[in-house]
Amino acid sequence: MNKEQAQKRMEELYAQIEEHNYQYYVLDRPIVTDQEYDHMMQDLIRLEAEHPDLKAPHSPTERVGAEPLPHFQKVTHDIPMLSLGNVFDESELRDFDRRVRQGIGQENIEYVAELKIDGLAVSLRYEDGQFVSGATRGDGTTGEDITQNLKTIRAIPLKLREPVTLEVRGEAYMPKHEFEKLNQRREEKGEELFANPRNSAAGSLRQLDPKIVAQRHLSIFLYGIAQVQGLDIHSHSEGLEALERIGLKTNPETKVCHSVDELLDYIQYWTDRRAELPYEIDGIVIKVNHIQYQEQLGFTAKSPRWATAYKFPAEESVTILKDIEVNVGRTGAVTPTALLEPVSLAGTTVKRASLHNEDLIREKDIRIGDHVVVKKAGDIIPEVVAVVEERRDGTEKEYHMPTHCPECHAELVRIEEEVALRCINPKCPAQIKEGMIHYVSRNAMNIDGLGERVIIQLYDQGLIREVADLYYLDRDELLQLERMGEKSVDNLLHAIEQSKENSLEKLIFGLGIRLVGAKAARLLAAQFETMDRLMDATEEELEAINEVGPKMAESIVTYFDNPEVCALVERLSVAGVNMAYKGPKLQEAEAVDSPFAGQTVVITGTLEHFKRNELKEQLQGLGAKVTGSVSKNTDMLIAGENAGSKLDKANDLNVRVIDENELINLLSPPE
């Protein structure tokens, strides 16, 4: 494919991917499968790698996250992002309506009612249809430039459907299901939990590393136009329709109302149904619809006179904490849960509430039998927020976390600087199923035919109790299972047998050692080369490896200090599972003498004699750190043909640049 053909194909992919983003993230009606979408993205990533000079600023690959920022730049809003006044009941809403009618001199006023999304207010700027910058509200006059973070939100188009220049305001938020998944991951790691989706959205958008933001899966609703060129708009409702037409996501539940009674009906409807929404709201925003009337009413020093927010009251209830039970999660984290006298809360009956960890129980002095205040964090997860001490009668009992796992009775451990107690017994029933599903997954041992359904079936039938049991399965026993014919059993046993030949890093990752991901597993395998050496490694030896910190080192040593783990590894070895590293060798003498040892290297452009992934592994084996972008910390740029902007930046920063011929010479051993 020549340059002209590549550019044409890239433009086609830009248009197709953005259209699919619009269909999925804005309209919520995907028209291609995830697999088809992934293929398009991979094609685009490959073409941009081969032709980096052709990459457009609005490329969908920008959404994966840029390099971490040292800090956020301040941004002054041309038009201030003012806050809204609040009303809390019907009489206050009618007072607002009266002031509006008096200010305009009209009796019949048209309002727009919108759900008040509980997230983080942001401002987006587009020039000729291209997304150029985004900022937080800040104090209303000055915010922070979070452009790179906003690019990771797929509901924000990087290119509009029309070449419009405008500034638009909206609310970035975290969907409820993403909030639940995020807190589950944080709890498993022993990290502090986010209190609600709003805090998690705000915390995410203020991350200096956009790659972290990209993992949080935020979304956005746009609700207002601050400045615009090229659109003729006379009312707020027309503005929302225009935003939707040019590809921006607006809230579908917005309604035009012609009286206070209609507004009250809308408020009551969503007060009753707010828990059913997939995102959090904390009220209803009410705006005068016609722009002419908005201009006539104007502003106070703090807020517009033509808009207000009807705020939902914070809903809390008092009930009795009857007991506390603990549950063991996939990674062994032991979490206490309050068992409550049933209580109505935010439209649902609550019988259980999270207590998060032992520290929280002690801090709030929560006792069994206490009258407690319960609320839904973000209207989603019930939690105990306080004890009503004045209602104690002396029968309440202090609670102490168990010292042993409630599932397998192994002694629980608390790793330094973590809040969670953990069961580290690999035979714990509460962890086994998920652990085995992870073990057979593609990035681990990659055993085809062993999906979640089959794992659960094998476990429930008593055929497996730990991952080593997979290598001792009996063909005749498998044939007795439902949906297990001769061909499927033979294929399954063949796939299990093949997995024995995997390189060591696959096994390390498959064991599910806490904090050890696929990349860390490869580094450990390359450094120690055999499982025995890794199991004997000290924390000091582990921390000496680049990218292995104190917490990961402690986690690894703690894991292999467990006799149950040693027995598991021995069974795997006896079954014939490979315990050695088969990848590029990390030889100390070679790394010390290598011109790449200790160097931060970037590869760019098209290479004739190397495949990029293989070259990256080779350089890492010689002691280099290979990164994706040029910065002041880059020591060397390997530039192939059509090196593009990375080469320009390297020259600007006086980074050493070598071509492919020089690379070959540096890699060739001296005679």
Mean pLDDT in residue range 205-227? 90
Q: What is the CA radius of gyration of the chain?
A: 29
Beta bridge partners of 321: 340
| Parallel/antiparallel/unpaired status of strands 85-87 and 307-311 | parallel
**CATH match for 85-311 among 3.30.460.20, 2.60.40.420, 3.40.50.300, 3.30.470.30:** 3.30.470.30
At 269, the pLDDT band (50, 70, 90 cuts) reads very high
Is the per-residue pLDDT at 571 higher than 70? yes
> Could you give the CA distance from residue 192 to residue 419 in angstroms, rounded to a whole number?
8
Mean pLDDT in residue range 618-640? 82
What kind and span of H or E run contains 561? none
Q: What is the pLDDT of residue 164?
A: 93
Q: What is the pLDDT of residue 508?
A: 95
Q: What is the pLDDT of residue 190?
A: 67
Q: What is the pLDDT of residue 316?
A: 79
Is the per-residue pLDDT at 637 higher than 50? yes
User: Can you give the length of the chain in residues?
Assistant: 671
Q: What is the pLDDT of residue 589?
A: 36
> Could you give the CA distance from residue 311 to residue 305 in angstroms, rounded to a whole number?
17
Looking at every residue in the chain, the average pLDDT score rounds to 86
What kind and span of H or E run contains 50? helix 34-50
Two structure tokens written together for 341: 């006298």
Question: In CATH, which superfamily holds the domain spanning 588-667?
Answer: BRCT domain (3.40.50.10190)
In the three-class reduction of DSSP (H, G, I as helix; E, B as strand; rest coil), residue 146 is classed as coil
- Listed in sequence order, the residues at least 6 apart from 23 whose beta carbon sits closer than 8 Å to its beta carbon are 29, 30, 31
Q: Which of 87, 96, 150, 88 is nearest to 119 (CA)?
A: 150
Mean pLDDT in residue range 203-213? 84
CA–chain centroid gap for 671, Å, is: 50
Is the per-residue pLDDT at 670 higher than 80? no
> Could you give the CA distance from residue 21 to residue 69 in angstroms, rounded to a whole number?
26
Query: Could you tell me which residue, 468 or 314, shows the higher pLDDT?
Result: 468
Range 316-398 classified under CATH 2.70.98.40:
no
Beta bridge partners of 255: 113
Q: What is the pLDDT of residue 452?
A: 80
Q: In the chain, what are the helix, strand and coil shares in percent, each to the nearest 5?
A: 40, 20, 40
Is the per-residue pLDDT at 406 higher than 50? yes
**Which segment of 22-31, 68-77, 90-99, 197-206 scores lowest on mean pLDDT?**
22-31
Is the per-residue pLDDT at 379 higher than 60? no
Q: What is the pLDDT of residue 380?
A: 53
Query: Could you tell me which residue, 211 or 474, shows the higher pLDDT?
Result: 474
For domain 424-583, the CATH architecture is Orthogonal Bundle (1.10)
At 612, the pLDDT band (50, 70, 90 cuts) reads confident
Q: Which of 93, 5, 236, 52 is nearest to 650 (CA)?
A: 52
Please say whether the beta carbons of 625 and 660 come within 8 A.
no
Q: What is the pLDDT of residue 378?
A: 44
- What distances in angstroms separate CA 486 from CA 59, 75, 477, 497, one per listed residue? 49, 67, 11, 16
Q: What is the pLDDT of residue 173?
A: 95
**Residues that are catalytic:** 116
> Could you give the CA distance from residue 487 to residue 389 in angstroms, rounded to a whole number?
66
- Listed in sequence order, the residues at least 6 apart from 38 whose beta carbon sits closer than 8 Å to its beta carbon are none
- Listed in sequence order, the residues at least 6 apart from 215 whose beta carbon sits closer than 8 Å to its beta carbon are none
The domains of the chain are located at 3-64, 85-311, 316-398, 424-583, 588-667
> Could you give the CA distance from residue 407 to residue 431 in angstroms, rounded to a whole number?
9
> Could you give the CA distance from residue 80 to residue 121 in angstroms, rounded to a whole number?
12
Q: What is the pLDDT of residue 127?
A: 94
At 586, the pLDDT band (50, 70, 90 cuts) reads low
> Could you give the CA distance from residue 106 to residue 645 in angstroms, rounded to a whole number?
59
Please say whether the beta carbons of 173 and 220 come within 8 A.
yes
167 residue type, one letter: E
> Could you give the CA distance from residue 338 to residue 317 in angstroms, rounded to a whole number?
14
Query: Could you tell me which residue, 15 or 377, shows the higher pLDDT?
Result: 15
Q: Which of 331, 406, 341 is nearest to 369 (CA)?
A: 341
Mean pLDDT in residue range 72-97? 90
| Contacts within 8 Å (CB) and 24+ apart, 582-586 | 582/503, 582/504, 583/503, 583/505, 583/522, 583/525, 583/526, 583/617, 584/526, 584/617, 584/618, 584/620, 584/621, 585/526, 585/529, 585/621, 586/526, 586/527, 586/620, 586/621, 586/623
What pTM value is reported for the model?
0.50
97-149 pLDDT, tens digit each: 999 999 999 989 999 999 999 899 999 999 999 999 999 988 788 889 999 99
Two structure tokens written together for 78: 């041309």
Q: What is the pLDDT of residue 348?
A: 66
* 3-64: CATH topology: Helix Hairpins (1.10.287)
**Which segment of 233-247, 387-401, 435-449, 597-611 scores lowest on mean pLDDT?**
597-611
249-263 pLDDT, tens digit each: 999 999 999 999 999
Mean pLDDT in residue range 607-612? 78
Q: What is the pLDDT of residue 46?
A: 86
Is the per-residue pLDDT at 502 higher than 80? yes
In the three-class reduction of DSSP (H, G, I as helix; E, B as strand; rest coil), residue 317 is classed as strand
| Parallel/antiparallel/unpaired status of strands 307-311 and 316-328 | unpaired
